[in-house]
Structure 1
Amino acid sequence: MNILPLRLTAAEVRRRGKRLLGPVDLTLGTGGVTVIVGPNGSGKTTLLRVMHGVERLSSGSANWAVPDRDAQARQAFVFQSPIMLRRSVAANLRYPLALHGVARADQDVAVTEWAAKIGLSDALTTPAPRLSGGERQKLALARALIGKPQVLFLDEPCASLDGAATLAIEGLLRDARDAGVRIVMATHDMGQARRLADDALFVLGGTIAEAASRDRFFDRPQHPALASFLNGDIVT
């Protein structure tokens, strides 16, 4: 059962009379990595939260190809500041599997495999909050992927990480994409956006000002504000 496409139609989010997002019309199809870029406060995180279903729309609609309950069970979200359960690394990895009713023996296999993938095989009994920032982010990503979601949303997953940790995260994301996971992520790192994107969205003032394939988006931007933004200029 494929939960995609996701269709946003005239989607708007308003708070205290202020419009934070919209109107947005967008169809998220299957396959690849969509990168969302734009100035601070432009609405990137709100757009991610709307797509994930944790931000209530003021008007418009967001519809998956399946009922919302089924869609929610087959997607995951990794936040900029990962939330660690106050448990061991192994318990953090095991948690989503237990929620999905995976047998204990199968949990053990998956935990061992994913701990190896993120370089934490020797830290399975370590309390997750004691990990370094890069290790916590890798654990958060592994915890999101261990349940085999169809869609993965990420909000600035490499913010404040050093180069080595960033490369490790990007490697995991490429592997996930190659395994068929649909990835949608916001980032301020234009180098990362170019490395990972199959297509990209430019969010400005709560609307999608431009959407295009990677090469056209970065090499032949159509919107003047996107051209300025990619040039390193301050865009508001």
Structure 2
Amino acid sequence: MPPVTLHLKQLSNELIQPFDLSIEPGRICCISGASGSGKSRLLRAVADLEPHSGDVLLDDQEQQQLPADQWRQRVRLVPAESQWWSERVGDHFPAEYNGEGLEALGLPAEAHGWDVMRLSSGEKQRLGLLRALSIPLQVLLLDEPCANLDPETTQRVEAMLLERIQAEGWPVLWVAHDAAQIQRVADYRFQIRHKRLVEVTDGRD
């Protein structure tokens, strides 16, 4: 899919007041905030999974002009906890998936054939991320993709994501709570404070 710019125009819901934001291809916008401030619900609004006011556009393509399933093919949400509907990991990937990314994330090639029941929370998180990236997309929405990972594995995930984001030109909304991670990966930083999305420019979260 060709690179696009993600535009949020006067986007709002019951937790966040209207705001404008544009993210260009290959750029990462990190969002932080207190628990319950609406970070995950903001991602769900952009993915057309929750009601909201305002407009979401990919270049000039408006969200409401596409059926929700087609929109979510383009705008890919990776939730904090991915859902698994089959016993075998490989059943959740496209038939043509060749194991790309497993080694980069510290997973063996045979992980594709594992049973879901044997996965740790960190393995589920990494495999859920790879599953989301195995299908073409234009915008990536990440909800704390490293929350269950140790520091070494976190660095692996960050490195893989940064490489793919640059190579594919995805605009990214990345919800994170770790100030050090935000410093490492973000091109833009915002916090949700008192129902407002506020840009952070002083390096502090």
- Is the structural similarity TM-score above 0.5? yes
Match of 1:128 in 2: 116
Q: What residue number does 1:88 align with?
A: 88
Query: Partners in 1 of 2:110 and 2:148 — Cα distance?
Result: 25
* Residue in structure 1 matching 2:178, options 167, 180, 189: 189
Aligned residues with identical type, % of pairs: 30
Partner of 2:20: 25
Could you tell me which residue of structure 2 aligns to residue 72 of structure 1?
A: 72
Give the secondary structure class of the aligned counterpart of 2:173: strand
Max Rg structure: 1
The answer to whether the 8 A contact 1:21-1:46 is kept is no
Q: Deviations for 1:34-72, whole angstroms, at most 9, x for unmatched residues?
A: 111122222211221111221111x33323332434543
> How do 1:127-206 and structure 2 match up within 5 A?
127-179=115-167, 180-206=169-195
TM-score, normalised by the number of residues in structure 2: 0.84
Q: Return the alpha-carbon distance in structure 2 between the equivalents of residues 169 and 34 of structure 1.
A: 17
Contact 1:10 1:60 (C-alpha < 8 Å) held by counterparts: yes
TM-aligned CA deviation for residue 3 of structure 1: 6.8
Between the aligned partners of 2:13 and 2:148, the Cα distance in structure 1 is 29
In the TM superposition, residue 148 of structure 1 has moved relative to its aligned partner by 2.7
Q: 1:121 to 1:191 in 2, by over 3 A?
A: same
TM-score (norm 1): 0.74
C-alpha RMSD of matched pairs (Å): 2.2
Q: Flag structure 2 segments of 5+ consecutive residues without an equivalent.
A: none
Secondary structure at the aligned position of 2:181 is classed as helix
Distance 1:209 1:115 in 2: 36
User: How do residues 42-81 of structure 1 correspond to structure 2 at under 5 angstroms?
Assistant: 42-57=37-52, 59-64=53-58, 65-66=60-61, 67-69=65-67, 70-81=70-81
DSSP-derived class of the 2:43 partner: helix
Counterpart CA distance in 2 for 1:68 and 1:3 is 18
Deviations 1:146-176 (A, max 9, x none): 1131211011111132222212221221121
Secondary structure (helix, strand or coil) at the match of 1:22 reads coil
Larger helix share, 1 or 2 = 1
> Within 2, Cα distance between the matches of 1:55 and 1:217?
32
CA deviation string 1:126-156 (max 9, x = no partner): 1123212221111111111111312110111
Q: Tell me the equivalent position of 2:9.
A: 9
Instruction: Return the structure number with greater relative CO, CA threshold 8 A, min gap 6.
Output: 2
Q: Contact 2:4/2:170 (CA < 8 Å) preserved in 1?
A: no
**1:181-232 residue CA offsets vs partner (Å, 9 max, x unmatched):** 2221101111111111111112112221225xxxx441xxxxxxxx5xx3xx
CA 1:217–1:45: 2 relative to 1, 3 Å: farther
AA in 1 matched with 2:77: F
SS at match of 1:157: coil
Correspondence list, 1:108-127, <5 A: 110-118=97-105, 119-127=107-115
Distance 2:16 2:2 in 1: 27
Q: Report if the CA contact (8 A) 1:84-1:136 is conserved.
A: no
Q: In structure 2, the residue corresponding to 1:77 is in which secondary structure?
A: strand
Taking the aligned partners of 2:50 and 2:3, their CA distance within structure 1 comes to 19
Report how many residues are paired. Answer: 197
